[in-house]
Amino acid sequence: MNGFLSEILSNPMTWVTLSTLAFVGLIIHFKVPRMATDALDARAETIAKELDEAAKLREEAQALLASYQRRQRQAEKEVEEIIALAKAESVRMRSETEKALAEHIERRTAMAEDKIAQAEAQALQDVSIYAADTAVNATRKLLTDRIDDTQGAALIDKNIDEITSKLH
Q: What is the pLDDT of residues 1-30, one digit of tens each?
A: 567 777 777 888 988 988 998 888 887 787
Q: What is d(CA 107, CA 114) in angstroms, rounded to the nearest whole number?
A: 10
Q: What is d(CA 42, CA 142) in angstroms, rounded to the nearest whole number?
A: 144
Look at phi and psi of residue 69 and say left if phi exceeds 0, alpha if psi is from -120 to 50, else beta.
Answer: alpha
**CA separation (Å) from 49 to 35, 52, 56, 77, 141?**
21, 5, 10, 41, 133
Mean pLDDT value of segment 117-132: 88
Q: What is d(CA 4, CA 11) in angstroms, rounded to the nearest whole number?
A: 11
- Cα dihedral across residues 72, 73, 75, 80: positive or negative: positive
Q: What is d(CA 71, CA 64) in angstroms, rounded to the nearest whole number?
A: 10
3-class secondary structure, 11: coil
pLDDT of residue 24: 84
pLDDT of residue 168: 61
Residue 147 carries which DSSP code? -
Q: What is d(CA 137, CA 125) in angstroms, rounded to the nearest whole number?
A: 18
Mean pLDDT value of segment 89-93: 95
Helices (H), the chain: 2-10, 12-29, 32-146, 149-167
Domain segments of the chain: what residues? 31-167
Q: How many residues does the chain have?
A: 168
Question: Do the beta carbons of residue 115 and residue 124 sit within 8 Å?
Answer: no
pLDDT of residue 54: 95
pLDDT of residue 155: 76
